[in-house]
Amino acid sequence: MPLPKLLVFASGAQGGPPGQDGGSGFGELVDWSRKNPDSFEVVGVVSNHENGGVKRRADALGIPFTHFDPSSSRLNLEIQGLALKSAIAEQYQEIAKKSGADYFALSGWMKKTHGLPPARTINIHPALLSQLGGRFGGAGMYGLKIHEAVKEVFEKGEITHSGLSMHFVTDTYDGGPVFFEYPVPLEKGMSAIDIRERVNAAEHEWQPKITNMVVHGEISWDGHDPKSLKVPEGYEFLPK
């Protein structure tokens, strides 16, 4: 049987020293899949930075790279007076079709997606989306801002953990069904960067394993009804 094919979207950063310019989650997905030959095949990676960490990792790993910046597309479409959402969705869909992928993973993708199939598109989020009524998700909660927000609340004594969440992707920021959460304990005196690094280590451990469960149907969703979400017992929300 052919392996499920995965296309990764990863922003990374433009420039910066190797190892500090993003794309590490993408690299971990490739490395893990190659060490587990019955898992999945990463058939490509997309970044909104034409030259950066993601491109360098892709070249080193022999993975096809696509440069796509929805922000530039948005400006061009505004100039042309075209419908933004539908036109950008078509661009996402064209990239997806060309890749031949069955599933799509957002791994540090800092752009809003449109047009990818919600039942086959997943995202990893560097915080617990269930925590404090969803305070660490939604528009504006990305990058170091998340960890700064977590640090502030932790110092007030409102939480003891951060963590990671994985969820299916809809048109609403962090709005798709969450199917996995993993807690990461916090310690007094941690900076936002310290928190980011600890969460990032947990992401590297869990993202490939849980992605593998999705692409093999152990975790699934019909893309419409939240009640259709199927997750093995013990995975949806791990103890905090």
Residue 240: the pLDDT is 42
- Tell whether 146 is covered by a domain: no
Residue 147: the pLDDT is 97
- Tell whether 65 is covered by a domain: yes
Residue 193: the pLDDT is 96
- Tell whether 122 is covered by a domain: no
- Domain of 69 in residue numbering reads as 1-116
* Total number of domains constituting the chain: 1
- Tell whether 41 is covered by a domain: yes
Tell me, what CATH number does 98's domain have?
3.40.50.170
- Tell whether 151 is covered by a domain: no
What's the chain look like in SS3?
A: CCCCEEEEECCCCECCCCCCCCCHHHHHHHHHHHHCCCCCEEEEEEECCCCEHHHHHHHHHCCCEEECCHHHHHHHHHHHCCCHHHHHHHHHHHHHHHHCCCEEEECCCCCCCCCCCHHHEEEEECCCCCHHHCCCCCCCCCCHHHHHHHHHHHHCCCCCEEEEEEEECCCCCCCCCEEEEEEEECCCCCCHHHHHHHHHHHHHHHHHHHHHHHHCCCCECCCCCHHHCECCCCCCCCCC
Tell if the pTM clears 0.95, that is, is over it.
no
- Tell whether 40 is covered by a domain: yes
- Tell whether 74 is covered by a domain: yes
Q: Which residue ranges in the chain fall short of pLDDT 50?
A: 79, 239-240
- Tell whether 187 is covered by a domain: no
